[in-house]
Amino acid sequence: MKPLNVGIIGTGNIAPAYIRGCEPFEPINVTACADLLIDRAETFAKEHGLAAYSVEDMLASDDIDIVINLTIPAAHAEVSLQIIEAGKHAYCEKPLALNRADGKKIIDTAEAKGVRMGCAPDTFLGGGGQTARKTIDDGVIGKPVAATAFFMSHGPEGWHPNAGFYYLKGGGPLFDMGPYYITTLINLMGPVARVAGSASMTFKERLATSEALNGQILPVEVNTHIAGTLEFESGGIATIITSFDVWGHHMPRIEIYGEEGSLSVPDPNTFGGVVQALHSDDGAWRDVQLTHTTNIGRGAGVADMAYAIQSGRPHRASGALAFHVLDIMQALEESAEQGKHIDIESTLDQPLAVPAGLSDGVLDE
């Protein structure tokens, strides 16, 4: 089939990774970029061999089939809706939106317009996440009964050139990094039914020490340490912490505990890593040979959506998955504020596993 042409709105720090990540996949062809700052779009276009558009012209172009939304989180909902209303398939950086109402509007509008909505993260499609999924699906550790997930750091102000937005509405460790961890847990254990959370804002302001912002004071509007419990529809229970208040720790990224063993899952913000399994027979941790390629990057979710558009199957990094993650994150904040469990009203089928042994640049058999 003819490749689908892809345009990018937003040419900031993450945009080059999407250019590299989309390149190996035959079903997509990145041809254009746009930015509110047209000079920045033109510079990016020259660097990557693209056509530079205004946002309006890109959305009006008949030559663009899919648009990737790489704007800041506060603009995700507005821009994704513009893409969808223009009749184009949309793929958005995480999070899908800042609240359920906007997220639901995106999903409902895409359905009404008959277009696909996809959303990051797509890291669970990589060799680490899919090998872990196959290990569970093959019954190596038995039925998952529990899990732990930890993202803990002291925030991005020491290295990021524009760290301020991490501490404003739509930022914070939960909405910034939580999607990687929660998406991976859903990929491995299915949808979540109920959550409980506690949260705090330890520091009311941050001192930036990055080269670009050195010495600037960054105001904090969001919780910076969130601890929660996720109860899955399958019956499993996960403990999760996301924090910008921790200087160092020895906790695992993600571990899954089954009836017959345990599984160590690599960093969900990467496409590779080491997978280890322990079985109850001997209690020894052993490396699991990767069953899926690690030669994959951001943009895999866009390619997977293109495969799905062409074949008619559901796409894996879907808007429904991103909305379920958003629902869970907002519920954790609500639980912390209200002091009670929150039921998760959204649900979905567990994302389709990627078949093992595929060649680089291929996502379907």
Per-domain boundaries in the chain: 4-123+297-316, 128-288
Note the pLDDT of residue 182. Answer: 98
Question: From CA 118, how far away is CA 133, in angstroms rounded?
Answer: 21
Task: Please determine whether the domains at 4-123+297-316 and 128-288 fall in the same fold group of CATH.
Answer: no
Q: 141 to each of 186, 235, 259, 266, 283, how far by Cα in Å? A: 17, 16, 6, 16, 11
How many helical (H) and strand (E) elements, i.e. helices and strands, does the chain have? 9, 17
Which residues 6+ apart lie within 8 Å of 112 measured at CB?
A: none
Note the pLDDT of residue 162. Answer: 85
Counting Cβ atoms within 10 Å, is residue 165 exposed (0-12), middle (13-18) or buried (19+)?
middle
Q: 152 to each of 243, 245, 247, how far by Cα in Å? A: 5, 7, 8
Q: Which residues pair with 287 in a beta bridge?
A: 276
Q: 31 to each of 16, 76, 361, how far by Cα in Å? A: 13, 21, 18
DSSP per-residue codes, 140-177: TT-SEEEEEEEEE-S-STTT-TTGGGGGSTT-HHHHHH
- Residues 289-326 have pLDDT tens digits of 999 999 999 999 999 999 999 999 999 999 999 999 99
Q: Which residues pair with 146 in a beta bridge?
A: 237, 257
Residues of the chain with pLDDT under 70: none
Question: From CA 269, how far away is CA 244, in angstroms rounded?
Answer: 16
Tell which residue, 353, 351, 354, 355, has the closest CA to residue 190. Answer: 351
Note the pLDDT of residue 290. Answer: 97
Q: Among 1.10.1060.10, 3.40.50.720, 3.40.190.10, 3.90.550.10, what is the CATH number of 4-123+297-316?
A: 3.40.50.720
Entry pTM: 0.96
> Token match 């800042």: residue?
98
Assign a CATH topology to domain 128-288.
Answer: Dihydrodipicolinate Reductase; domain 2 (3.30.360)
